[in-house]
Structure formats: structure tokens, C-alpha cells
């Protein structure tokens, strides 16, 4: 927020009379990440906490938490997909949104039919993977440079 928005009673009031802080608080979403077996066990209780707006399912971290091999570009194990379905169902039953990284037209369509309203099509890990060759050649160049000095 720009500092000029902080002059009390002058520039921090929105048209309906609330302060900009109240307005931002009302517009903010509380998104809780369920990314571990522990989080999955507590998802029902978490969804009931007043003010929680969305349960976000983290499949990669959940896979690791389940002690399974986690490959970013690989299909998800059955148990991970079942956990995702459980989180999305809990969210729906509690009248809050659910979301996660969902890839592929079919999966996105299925998620939409099941009530998933918050979909991310990418993440930092995908951006890094797309730069894998560039990162590898940079590492090689730095190694050559550091050994020649």
C-alpha cells in the first residue's frame, strides 16, 4: 500500500466509510494449505475454523509426506489422488472453496465438476524445470570458472 493511503481520516477511507485496512481485511482470503499426512488428518477441524475461506491441496508435498517418490512431471499415486479428493470433499461439505495445482484439460474439468474453484496451472517448480538446461549450463560455467581461478 502506498504511504499516501495512510493519512488517517483523509486518504485511508474507502467510499463506504471503512478504512482501507478494514476494506483489505474484508477482501482478503484465508487459504490454508493441506500438504502433509498430519494436515490431512486435521483437515475437517481446519475447515471448521471461522474465517478459513479455502483448503489448498499440495500434492507434491503430500506425496513426500506419504513417503512416496515425488516426481513433479509424473502422474500422482492413487493415495495422493484419494487424499486430494478427501480435502476437496471436506471443503465442499464445509461451504468453503478448495484448490490446488491441477493440470490437464480433463483434470481441470473434473475438478470444476467437483466444486474446485481455485485452480493454479503452474508453480515455481515448473518454471525452474523449464530452465533446467539453462541452469545446468550456468552451473558448469561457474564450476569451470571457479576451478580456473
Q: Mean pLDDT highest for which of 13-17, 37-41, 137-141?
A: 37-41
Q: What domains sit in the chain, N to C, each tagged with a CATH number?
A: 14-122 (3.20.20.60)
The set of cell numbers assigned to 108 is 481441470
Residue 75 has pLDDT above 80, yes or no: no
Instruction: Give me the half-sphere count of Cα atoms (radius 13 Å) on the Cβ side of residue 68.
Output: 19
Distance CA 15, CA 68 (A): 52
Distance CA 58, CA 118 (A): 13
Distance CA 59, CA 35 (A): 7
The set of cell numbers assigned to 77 is 499415486
The pTM (predicted TM-score) of the whole model is 0.67
The pLDDT value recorded for residue 76 is 76
Question: Which tops the pLDDT comparison, 83 or 70?
Answer: 83
Average pLDDT, whole number, for the chain? 81
Question: Which tops the pLDDT comparison, 76 or 138?
Answer: 138
Amino acid at each position: 500500500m502506498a504511504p499516501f493511503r495512510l493519512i488517517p481520516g483523509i486518504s485511508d477511507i474507502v467510499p463506504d466509510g471503512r478504512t482501507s485496512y478494514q476494506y483489505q481485511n474484508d477482501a482478503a482470503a484465508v487459504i490454508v494449505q493441506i500438504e502433509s499426512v498430519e494436515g490431512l488428518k486435521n483437515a475437517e477441524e481446519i475447515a471448521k475454523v471461522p474465517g478459513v475461506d479455502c483448503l489448498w491441496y499440495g500434492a507434491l508435498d503430500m506425496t513426500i509426506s506419504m513417503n512416496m517418490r515425488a516426481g513433479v512431471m509424473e502422474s500422482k499415486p492413487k493415495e495422493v489422488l484419494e487424499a486430494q479428493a478427501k480435502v476437496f470433499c471436506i471443503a465442499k461439505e464445509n461451504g468453503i472453496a478448495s484448490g490446488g495445482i491441477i493440470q490437464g484439460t480433463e483434470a481441470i474439468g473434473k475438478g470444476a465438476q467437483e466444486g474446485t474453484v481455485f485452480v493454479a496451472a503452474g508453480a515455481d517448480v515448473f518454471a525452474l524445470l523449464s530452465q533446467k538446461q539453462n541452469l545446468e549450463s550456468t552451473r558448469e560455467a561457474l564450476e569451470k570458472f571457479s576451478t580456473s581461478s
